[in-house]
Amino acid sequence: MKKFIFGIFTSVFLLSGCISESENQQVIFDRDLQAIEDYIQRNPIASVKEFVDPGLGIRIYWQEVSESGKSPESPDMVKVDYVGKLLNGSVFDTSFEQVARDNNIFDPQRPYGPIEYIFGVGEVIPGFDFAISLMEEGDKVTAFIPSIFGYGAVSQPGIPRNSVLIFELDLVQVGTVTEDELPDE
């Protein structure tokens, strides 16, 4: 019997090694898409404009459209207020002090307020930057980001590995970057 169990364990282990990394990524991506779809079915989002890209799996729902005409271009400096959540509703990060306090993630060592970063140069996760790329100054959106465009298989404080992320974003300001603010190559 022990040989039989060992044989089954060995077979399963060897077969699992036959699954390529890209197949694993596809399984995770498909799971993320289904989880986003399930969430939206259970929690409809009121919006005035929508963006859905089945190939990327990213969904963006505008709560406010400013029509300011000021869209970010790399390397613009942007200021963004945000709330980052998981599909279970837990908040993992925010630029709002009161939201941090209400969700027991307040850190007295950090400043609260809009984050300021250079757009399009990799300072934030790809899904966050992608959502900002579709916004204009003054727009407010809710963006659903599959794990591959978030933190992927790497866990972060408050974020398990392979987590779909939800960001409530408010693009507060789009401005130019000075030469000394550009990142070193």
State both tokens at 92: 């993992």
Residue 185 has a pLDDT of 58
Pair 50, 131: CB distance under 8 Å: no
- Quote the pLDDT of residue 134: 98
The whole-angstrom distance between residue 9's C-alpha and the CA centroid of its chain comes to 37
Q: State the pLDDT at residue 178.
A: 73
How much is the pLDDT for 113?
Answer: 98
Distance of CA 113 to the CA centre of its chain: 19
pLDDT of res. 177: 80
Domain boundaries, the chain: 2-181
Blockwise average pLDDT, block size 10, the chain, 185 residues: 38 43 85 98 96 96 96 96 98 98 97 97 97 98 98 96 98 87 61
Q: Which tokens in the block code for residue 171?
A: 């693009």
Domain made up of 2-181: CATH architecture: Roll (3.10)
